[in-house]
Amino acid sequence: MELISSNKTFGGHLNKYRHASSVVACEMTFSVFLPAQADVGVRLPVLYWLAGLTGNEDTFVQKAGALRVAADLGLIIVAPDTSPRGSEVPDSAPEEWAWGQSAGFYVNATEKPWSDHYNMYDYVVNELPGLIDRHFPTSGRCGISGHSMGGHGALVCALRNPQKYLSISAFEPICNPARTPWGIQAFSGYLGADRQSWLSWDASELLASCQSNLSILVEFGGADEYLDEELKPCTLLGAISNSRCELEIRVRQGYDHSHYFIASFIEDHLRYHYKKLVSSTL
């Protein structure tokens, strides 16, 4: 790993790294917040945060106001980029901003040329955690969360790996991408024309069939302009009746899709994650 930058904040350090990824076949960057407890060798739980459309490894750590609380709790935060990048990586047309570079949708692409690089699911679930656990004082306990496209990614990663993540939450996730404009555009490119194959990357479909006792917290803004067409929280409510999971959905009236909403309630989520990460049985 190459250290790109390091800033001391709230007694800890916010570091940005670059590394060569074999999974996405290009260089990737990610941010890590290490609380002060990490400096004295204490092994700490990790929260993986997945950013939304057009985001990157800086978006959450700079905009969400999460680091003060993470420092207080002793919680490592890892924020990867949202897609592979570089001149060798294929991209969508500029007007198709909801997929391509900065919008990897946290799936493993099956269609050429995307499948050579767009394997963000394997990167987030396997390669990146392996790197984090080798280089930082982690306790082996991790949770996952994210916003919008990243909320979709967090739910999909957790529902496909129910034993891996001890805490799960999402802000304004795309709940049913197989049936929404953003999702249809991205899935058509990454996964091809067979819509049945899309369902294994759809949070509502995965929730409906999940037979693990997962506890999931999901938060929406009541004034979110994307709520009905792109996010579709009603599909999660419909799916939970067939699942063994426990789902808590909160709707905050007057809040929109921005990071102002996340910043208003991120402390609730971090404390929710920390409680589960330190008390759950592996």
Give the DSSP H/E element, type plus range, for residue 188.
Answer: helix 181-191
Q: What's the domain count of the chain?
A: 1
- Written in H, E and C, the secondary structure of 145-162 is EEECHHHHHHHHHHHHCC
Note if 257 is an active site residue.
yes
Residue 245 has φ and ψ, to the nearest 5°, of -75, 160
pLDDT digits (tens, 9 = 90+) for 214-263: 999 999 999 999 999 999 999 999 999 888 899 999 999 999 999 999 99
Q: Which residues contact 3 (CB under 8 A, 6 or more apart)?
A: 15, 16, 17
CA distance 247 to 232: 15
More confident: 279 or 87: 87
Q: Catalytic pick from 21, 145, 169, 224?
A: 224
Q: What is the residue range of 182's domain?
A: 2-279
Q: Catalytic pick from 148, 169, 204, 243?
A: 148
Of the candidates 172, 163, 167, the residue with the CA atom closest to the CA atom of residue 203: 172
Q: Catalytic pick from 152, 257, 259, 269?
A: 257
For 238-279, the DSSP string reads HHHTT-S-EEEEEEETT--SSHHHHHHHHHHHHHHHHHHHHH
Within the chain, how many helices (H) and strands (E) appear?
10, 9
- The alpha carbon torsion through 275, 147, 51, 22 (nearest 10 deg) reads 70
Provide the whole-model pTM: 0.97
DSSP-derived secondary structure letter, 128: H
pLDDT digits (tens, 9 = 90+) for 87-142: 999 999 989 999 999 999 999 999 999 999 999 999 999 999 999 999 999 999 99
Could you identify the residue written with the tokens 């999402």? 170
| CA–CA–CA angle 281, 168, 36 (5° rounding) | 75
The CATH number of residue 193's host domain is: 3.40.50.1820
List the structure tokens of 103: 């919008």
Provide the pLDDT for residue 279: 85
List the structure tokens of 189: 């490119």
CA distance 40 to 187: 45
**pLDDT band, residue 281 (cuts 50/70/90):** low
| CA–CA–CA angle 221, 179, 192 (5° rounding) | 130
Q: Which residues contact 28 (CB under 8 A, 6 or more apart)?
A: 18, 19, 20, 21, 80, 81, 84, 123, 128
Other CB atoms within 10 Å distance of the CB of residue 88? 11
